[in-house]
């Protein structure tokens, strides 16, 4: 069944078959994951991958993440070791992306890897995503399904609002549960380094590994992984972050966190639940930017613990003034 107003399809078995055929034939399919909606193409089809960059208006130096559906496929796709496989078996499927050295110099994936000697790969924890990958029979490369530097999509309608008919099919699998993108870890060296904070907390990685996990949150004009550019995830209205409720201006849309004494336009989580806040973040920024009666958006401070690391990363980049 298709929504007659646009190219949104219910994620039925029949439509998943159609979407897989679209991927194999070099088309673009947006689909839900546990984190945000992705804009997918066959990683081995350079023309299709180029179509992602064109649809998103994304620079070619910004690498993309490959999505796979079987842990056993990972050693065929990238260089692995016992540590990599232990992490995969424990955290996949889930909101964790690995940066690994490439298995070979297959030129067909150069564009997806931005010409780097490494690749980014994950296994999403969503039945629609996993089914689409399996039916397609290839890794699906997929950044977030929105125009470059704008707010990431957590529903099928968000995808259509941002990309419209630049996408061949949008599979509707409901709202994404986590709401912020994956945590990306660099596994190409001795130390494990977080390149982008995301849906898996640093503390969970350290508890499993029994070792320190480093954080590289510096920005780069030629990133090794997605989400490392200074300005990203930005709403149409200027965003101020870490704003005390007493400092919110009359002409600002106020997004609160936790208990506040003044009226908030939206509250990421009245109970100060960081998981709830992460799930609401992008949807609330999208709602706020619709209110052109305001001149800007003000957001309460968010703690720098657990998922707060990912939330603060996103809002810091969303608020960056170029």
Q: How far apart are the first and last CA of the chain?
A: 43
Q: Which of 129, 168, 137 lies closest to 36, judged by CA?
A: 129
Residue 266 phi/psi, 5° resolution? -145, 155
**129-161: pLDDT as tens digits:** 999 999 999 999 999 999 988 999 999 999 999
Structural domains of the chain, ranges and CATH numbers in brackets: 8-215 (3.90.870.10), 239-318 (3.40.50.11030)
> pLDDT value at position 320?
82
Give per-residue pLDDT as tens, 79-128: 999 999 999 999 999 999 999 999 887 888 999 998 889 999 999 999 99
Q: What is the pLDDT of residue 69?
A: 98
Provide the strand spans (E) within 17-150: 29-31, 38-42, 65-67, 96-101, 118-122, 140-141
Q: With pLDDT > 90 as the criterion, what percentage of the chain qualifies?
A: 78
How crowded is residue 118: how many other Cβ atoms within 10 Å of its Cβ? Answer: 20
**Per-residue confidence (pLDDT) for residue 3, from 0 to 100:** 54
User: Each residue of 142-156: b (16+ CB within 10 Å) or e?
Assistant: bbbbbbbbbbbbbbb
Q: State the pLDDT at residue 4.
A: 46
Q: Which residues of the chain have pLDDT under 50?
A: 4
Give the largest Cα separation in the chain, rounded: 58
DSSP state for residue 151 in the 8-state scheme: P
Entry pTM: 0.83
Q: How far apart are CA 129 and CA 32, in angstroms?
A: 6
Whole-number Å distance between alpha carbons of 97 and 191? 16
204 vs 209: CA distance, rounded Å: 9
DSSP, collapsed to helix, strand or coil, labels residue 72 as: helix
Q: Please say whether the beta carbons of 178 and 274 come within 8 A.
A: no
The strand order across the sheet containing 118-122 reads 8-10, 169-172, 29-31, 38-42, 140-141, 65-67, 118-122, 96-101, 183-186, 193-196, 214-215
Please tell me the predicted confidence (pLDDT) of residue 232.
63
* Total Cβ atoms within 10 A of residue 97: 28
């Amino acid at each position: 069944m298709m929504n007659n107003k646009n190219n949104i399809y219910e994620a039925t078995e029949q439509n998943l078959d159609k979407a897989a055929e679209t991927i194999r034939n070099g088309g673009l399919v947006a689909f839900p994951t546990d984190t945000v909606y992705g804009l997918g193409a066959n990683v081995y089809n350079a023309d299709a991958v180029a179509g992602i960059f064109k649809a998103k208006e994304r620079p070619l130096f910004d690498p993309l993440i490959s999505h796979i559906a079987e842990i056993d496929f990972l050693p065929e796709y990238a260089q692995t070791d016992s540590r990599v496989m232990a992490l995969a078996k424990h955290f996949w499927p889930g909101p964790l992306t690995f940066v690994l050295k490439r298995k070979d110099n297959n030129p067909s994936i150069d564009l997806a890897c931005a010409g780097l000697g490494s690749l980014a790969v994950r296994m999403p924890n969503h039945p629609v995503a996993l089914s689409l990958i399996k039916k397609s029979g290839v890794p699906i490369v997929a950044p977030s399904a929105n125009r470059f530097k704008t707010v990431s999509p957590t529903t099928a309608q968000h995808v259509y609002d941002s990309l419209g008919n630049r996408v061949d099919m949008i599979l509707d699998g409901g709202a994404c549960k986590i709401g912020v993108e994956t945590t990306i870890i660099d596994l190409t060296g001795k130390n494990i380094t977080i390149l982008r904070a995301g849906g898996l907390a640093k503390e969970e990685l350290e508890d499993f590994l029994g070792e320190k996990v480093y954080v590289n949150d510096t920005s780069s004009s030629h990133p090794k992984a997605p989400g490392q550019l200074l300005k990203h995830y930005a709403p149409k209205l200027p965003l101020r972050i870490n704003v005390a409720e007493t400092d919110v201006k009359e002409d600002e849309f106020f997004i609160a966190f936790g208990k506040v004494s003044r009226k908030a336009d939206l509250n990421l989580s009245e109970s100060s639940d960081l998981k709830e806040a992460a799930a609401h973040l992008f949807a609330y920024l999208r709602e706020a930017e619709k209110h052109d009666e305001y001149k800007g958006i003000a957001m309460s401070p968010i703690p720098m613990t657990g998922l707060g690391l990912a939330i603060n990363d996103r809002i810091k980049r969303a608020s960056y003034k170029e």
